Structure 1
Amino acid sequence: MVTQHGEHGEPGQVHEEVEVKYDLAPDAEAPTLGALLGDLPGADERGYREGDPVEHELEAVYFDTRDLRLSAARTTLRRRTGGHDAGWHLKTPWREGARQERHLPLGRAVKTVPAPLRRLVADVTGDQTLVPVARITTHRTVRTLVDAAGTALVELADDRVRAQRLAGGSVGQDEQEWREVELELLDGDRELFDAVDAHLRAAGLVVAETGSKVARVLAGAPAPRTDDAPAAGADAPRPDAPRPADRVLTPAAPRRTDLGPGSRAGDVLVAHLAEQVQRVLDQDPLVRADAPDSVHAMRVATRRLRSALKTYGPLLATSTKPVRAELRRLAAELGEARDAEVLRDRLVRSVASLDADHHDHSADHADQHGAAPDGVPQRVREQLEGDYRTAHDRVLAELDSERHQSLLDALQDLVERPEFSARGRRKAAKVLPKRVAKTFGALADLVQQAQDTGPGPARDELLHEARKAAKQTRYAAEAVVVVFGKDAKRFAKAVTELQEVLGEHQDSVVTRQRLRDLAATAHPEVAFAYGRLFAQEEVHAAATEADVEEVWAAARAKRLHRWLR
């Protein structure tokens, strides 16, 4: 369990959920963990055993909009009683197939979702009311895998389920019953979880088609649609029809796998845009809860959107400059928070790792000022933490703004109602490689200019611009991997290596600039540490410039560019 503290009353308890569900026949023998204990990694050292089974009676009511926008966004919101974690639970997509789960106590409200949870899903739901859409009762038998210290590592739950669809708070006519097994990671590691999963599959368990109980219940529901989309049989809206004020971004569809060299170039672009828009939506509640790396992930998705619109803008019939400008502004807000976070962590680590000889020197210096040297990393963190908090608060204000909602509206237009130019209607193989090649040409010009410029601020600035151009080229190639496969992947990997080396150089430039400012107002022993770090960063920057030559030569290899002709 990871406890974090969000702003604006967001729930602070955040749990990363990693689980797999399997279908099981009603009369099948219940699986156990005891038979596989000896085959698990670390079994001899950790003393694995199966805990005593525990039974629970659970009842959960799931909430969504009437057109199931949360379900479409792979998000679940429920109020559950019974078991050890009764309360309100919000589950949102996260990384590597895992989900993040947020908890709030049950409270008195039964049919009204708590305001903190409503705010976390506002970008998906808009001003649509959240209503009960399903009721699920579960008789659960839980078995846990524990180690010699008694720590519960994984949990295996045998669930007998009864479920009903609800329509606007009323019980539906249909009732479903099934049995399933759920394997969930607790305080173990992913290697152990994967080993148990593999054994269960080898024993005959089949992974369920749906990843959640409520998804199974709602599987037969009408497909979600925006308020301005026509109902079945209705006339399509005119392009100039007025747009409802409450329109929100419809979550993107799953990644398309039917695209190829013969597809329209514009369709490839829209599929990529839809994927990045979904990532922005997925990260929204995580950013609000200040989850690790969430600001970075949203920033990357925003940059990828802007990059794609810049590189492939000619495929669309209308200019994307207004949307790109708003994406740039959003990325800048996210960037302030991300840069403050990176600088804080970088300097704290660097100060903590200073060598012993210099540490003794710092201790002598600190003693003269009445401060202990062991407190230097903490002083650094305290000095920089305020910068991050201020920047993160600005990000939260941005996500709550009408301007941000307008940006989401504009992105929805691009994804749902794209208008292609003649170039966008041509085959992908004829159009897309040339767009990628153009970005690489701009990168090559900047690298050459930097190589022709002597050391100093001018060269640093050119290398910074080259880094941004490398990122543009990388994103352009990755956007079309779905069509060009390994060729695009290899090319993107080579450019990524260049981008990373240039990024290290730029981080060093920025860090040195910030160190100067920080030292001016820092406590004496902290200022001393900053001076030493400045010298280290100068050496690091010189080393990264030398690395640029090597990775640039690799990125220019002819074999990587054949697909761009």
Structure 2
Amino acid sequence: MADRVREIERKYEATEGGLPDLTAAAGVADVVDRGVASLDATYHDTGTERLAADGITLRRRTGGGDAGWHLKLPLAEDTREEIRAPLTDRLPRELAALVRSRVRRAPLVPVMRLRSERKLRQLLDADGRLLAEVSVDAVSAERPTGDGAGPTAHWTEIEVELAEGADPAVLDAVERQLRKAGIRRAPGPSKLARALAETRPGPRQKAKPVKPAKTAEPAKTGKKARTAKTAKPAKPSEKPKKRVATAGDQILDYVRAQAAALVELDPAVRRELPDSVHRMRVATRRLRSAFRSFGKVLDRAATDPIADELKWLAAELGVDRDREVLTARLYERLGELPKPLLIGPVRGRLRTWSGTRRRGARRHVTAVLDSDRYFDLLDSLDALLADPPLRPAAARPALEVVPGAVLRDFDRLEARMRAALAAPVGPERDLAMHEARKAAKRARYSAETARPAIGKPARRFVHHMKALQDVLGDHQDSVVAREALRELALQAQAAGESGFTFGVLYGHEEARATTRESELAGAWAEAADPRRRAGLRA
């Protein structure tokens, strides 16, 4: 079983002067020498270094206190999640699965060997608690080749890693002391990134040093200052020229972000992290919405087949997500009931029902994410972004093209809302409201895509679409919950248990659906206010 560790660290270029006195850093009372360790790590990647391109490292390391397999996934600046597995000769399956959305069918091979002599020191506070570990690593990097030793690189760097539970301000305090001693951030985000750059065949490449985050002034100020040094000054009468974003630029940026989300969320879904399935489904919906709504920008002859596969993936993911949402809803409703209405082993019955569905759903989702069909979909998205099927409207300014697509989606929603409000109470209205809900999502997603071009009116439009979607969504969840409660009641009856409590919950869900239906006209009136569309046209 793999262990998870959140790693927060910074790397610095070592100097001949060595480390300064770090007890001068705020909060540090003592520096304890923990000796020297010899580390030997072999990094694995595809031949085209797909993992490294995404800032991911996968290594087998011996030496030190954490020998084993380590997979590091970037989370934020200075922060990575490290997933560890025991030391074995072969890559553990659980780690291989977590990089599958990146490598797909490509084999993982050794791409770098790093050997380090590590001098370790621990920083303690006045109570002897560990604040951080500081290591000085003398690194030797060697790129493996088929005919023996490959290109090599050598350097010394300093790592400062925050201890679990320690205040991140410790890193800033230590950095101030290092900078006073002339020590600066190391080039590249990781040892592997530097080693790959410096041993790449051809002219030697050195990564640019990482600039530390500013703490004393806003980031904007630094950006302006850098711009002022390089930009050609404009004449007093001239206004700086702005590059007008084209519709193609804007839609491709959005598609690129959602395609990246699919790949990045894959490991989280495999590890059953909270909300990961939902977020992955949302990414599929946003992609489909962009392809359908902006057919004047991206040729639908090319995007429709991909949209069909995205629909398939969303449906497969929904097997688990729908169970998750439904189970949470039923437990919440049970918690609202007075104890006298809880007759029979209702919680046990619900737990058994949900657990059986969950086990099947998890196996199903994993099989989907390991399927050739899924990898083909990811490859298709990569190919589309590498050579986008742009139509003539893509070259026009985004503000001339994008609002019209949002308004067309709104017109579609308006037609479905009229049908929902006119439908008779019962299954016909349930279905009509569900169709309106899907149209509201599409209008919301297209407005999200339009936000860079339209600004505040698009943000307000998104807000009102979401409010309408909430009413329609809760109604649909009630429809699904009633179907599940009927099934639970029948199972309880077949087992000789009382179905009374499930009947009470059924009645509550029916009343909730009626309430949502009564709220629908008001929610629609607010969303359909002519000012919403006027803002998009401006």
- Answer whether TM exceeds 0.5 for this pair: yes
**1:91 has 2:72 as partner:** yes
Q: Residue 29 of structure 1: which of 20, 23, 32 is its match? A: 20
Secondary structure, counterpart of 1:160 in structure 2: strand
Letter in 2 for 1:29: P
Residue equivalent to 2:536: 563
Q: Residue 479 of structure 2: which of 506, 509, 515 is its match? A: 509
Closer/same/farther in 2, CA of residues 33 and 59 from structure 1, 3 Å limit: farther
CA distance in 2, matches of 1:342, 1:96: 32
Q: Residue 312 of structure 1: which of 294, 299, 307 is its match? A: 294
Letter in 2 for 1:500: D
Equivalent residue runs for 1:52-201 within 5 Å:
54-55=34-35, 57=37, 58-93=39-74, 99-107=80-88, 109=89, 112-136=90-114, 137=116, 139=118, 141=120, 143=122, 155-168=132-145, 171-184=149-162, 186=164, 188=165, 193-197=167-171
Q: Residue 194 of structure 2: which of 216, 223, 226 is its match? A: 216
**1:15 has 2:4 as partner:** yes
Q: Residue 277 of structure 2: which of 295, 302, 314 is its match? A: 295
CA apart distance, 1:78: 0.6
CA distance in 2, matches of 1:533, 1:513: 11
Secondary structure, counterpart of 2:294 in structure 1: helix
CA distance in 1, matches of 2:439, 2:389: 27
Residue equivalent to 2:339: 359
CA distance in 2, matches of 1:54, 1:526: 65
CA apart distance, 1:95: 8.3
Closer/same/farther in 2, CA of residues 105 and 33 from structure 1, 3 Å limit: farther
Secondary structure, counterpart of 1:479 in structure 2: helix
CA distance in 2, matches of 1:540, 1:95: 41
Letter in 2 for 1:104: A
**1:536 has 2:538 as partner:** no
CA apart distance, 1:16: 5.4
**1:411 has 2:381 as partner:** yes
CA distance in 1, matches of 2:525, 2:252: 33
CA distance in 2, matches of 1:489, 1:167: 52
Closer/same/farther in 2, CA of residues 339 and 213 from structure 1, 3 Å limit: same
CA apart distance, 1:79: 0.9
Residue equivalent to 1:46: none
- Residue pair 1:50, 1:146 contacting (<8 A) in 2 also: yes
Letter in 2 for 1:296: H
Structure 2: give runs of 5+ residues left out of the alignment.
202-241
CA apart distance, 1:341: 1.7
Closer/same/farther in 2, CA of residues 424 and 384 from structure 1, 3 Å limit: same
Closer/same/farther in 2, CA of residues 435 and 72 from structure 1, 3 Å limit: same
CA apart distance, 1:207: 6.5
Closer/same/farther in 2, CA of residues 548 and 217 from structure 1, 3 Å limit: farther
CA distance in 2, matches of 1:456, 1:97: 55
Residue equivalent to 2:227: none
**Greater displacement, 450-459 / 502-511:** 450-459
Residue equivalent to 1:521: 491
CA distance in 1, matches of 2:516, 2:32: 57
- Residue pair 1:283, 1:298 contacting (<8 A) in 2 also: yes
Residue equivalent to 1:228: none
**1:326 has 2:309 as partner:** yes
Letter in 2 for 1:141: L
CA apart distance, 1:159: 4.1
Letter in 1 for 2:60: R
- Residue pair 2:34, 2:120 contacting (<8 A) in 1 also: yes
CA apart distance, 1:332: 0.2
- Residue pair 1:134, 1:163 contacting (<8 A) in 2 also: no
Secondary structure, counterpart of 1:313 in structure 2: coil
- Residue pair 2:153, 2:198 contacting (<8 A) in 1 also: no
CA apart distance, 1:338: 0.7
Closer/same/farther in 2, CA of residues 554 and 51 from structure 1, 3 Å limit: farther
Secondary structure, counterpart of 1:60 in structure 2: strand
Greater CA radius of gyration, 1 or 2?
2
Secondary structure, counterpart of 2:106 in structure 1: coil
Closer/same/farther in 2, CA of residues 180 and 533 from structure 1, 3 Å limit: farther
Letter in 2 for 1:322: P
- Residue pair 1:261, 1:484 contacting (<8 A) in 2 also: no
- Residue pair 1:20, 1:184 contacting (<8 A) in 2 also: yes
**Greater displacement, 494-503 / 428-437:** 494-503
CA distance in 2, matches of 1:142, 1:432: 56
- Residue pair 1:142, 1:157 contacting (<8 A) in 2 also: yes
CA distance in 1, matches of 2:64, 2:507: 57
CA distance in 2, matches of 1:448, 1:142: 70
Secondary structure, counterpart of 1:80 in structure 2: strand
CA distance in 1, matches of 2:514, 2:4: 42
CA distance in 1, matches of 2:458, 2:9: 32
CA distance in 2, matches of 1:209, 1:489: 39
Residue equivalent to 1:391: 361
Closer/same/farther in 2, CA of residues 515 and 272 from structure 1, 3 Å limit: same
Secondary structure, counterpart of 2:20 in structure 1: coil
CA apart distance, 1:13: 2.5
- Residue pair 1:65, 1:130 contacting (<8 A) in 2 also: yes
CA distance in 2, matches of 1:444, 1:96: 44
Closer/same/farther in 2, CA of residues 278 and 24 from structure 1, 3 Å limit: same
Letter in 1 for 2:507: A
- Residue pair 2:151, 2:199 contacting (<8 A) in 1 also: no
CA distance in 2, matches of 1:163, 1:518: 63
CA distance in 1, matches of 2:126, 2:104: 46
Closer/same/farther in 2, CA of residues 454 and 394 from structure 1, 3 Å limit: same
CA apart distance, 1:416: 0.6
CA distance in 1, matches of 2:351, 2:134: 43
Secondary structure, counterpart of 1:177 in structure 2: strand
CA apart distance, 1:417: 0.9
CA apart distance, 1:304: 1.5
CA apart distance, 1:280: 1.3
**Greater displacement, 321-330 / 213-222:** 213-222
- Residue pair 1:348, 1:381 contacting (<8 A) in 2 also: no
- Residue pair 1:59, 1:138 contacting (<8 A) in 2 also: no
Q: Work out the number of aligned pairs and report it.
A: 485
- Residue pair 1:508, 1:537 contacting (<8 A) in 2 also: yes
Closer/same/farther in 2, CA of residues 559 and 15 from structure 1, 3 Å limit: farther
Percent identity between the two aligned chains: 36
- Residue pair 2:26, 2:170 contacting (<8 A) in 1 also: no
- TM-superposition CA deviations, 1:462-518 (whole Å, max 9, x none): 222222112112211222334444443333233223323322222122111211112
Secondary structure, counterpart of 1:316 in structure 2: coil
Residue equivalent to 1:336: 319
Residue equivalent to 1:462: 432
CA distance in 1, matches of 2:317, 2:460: 29
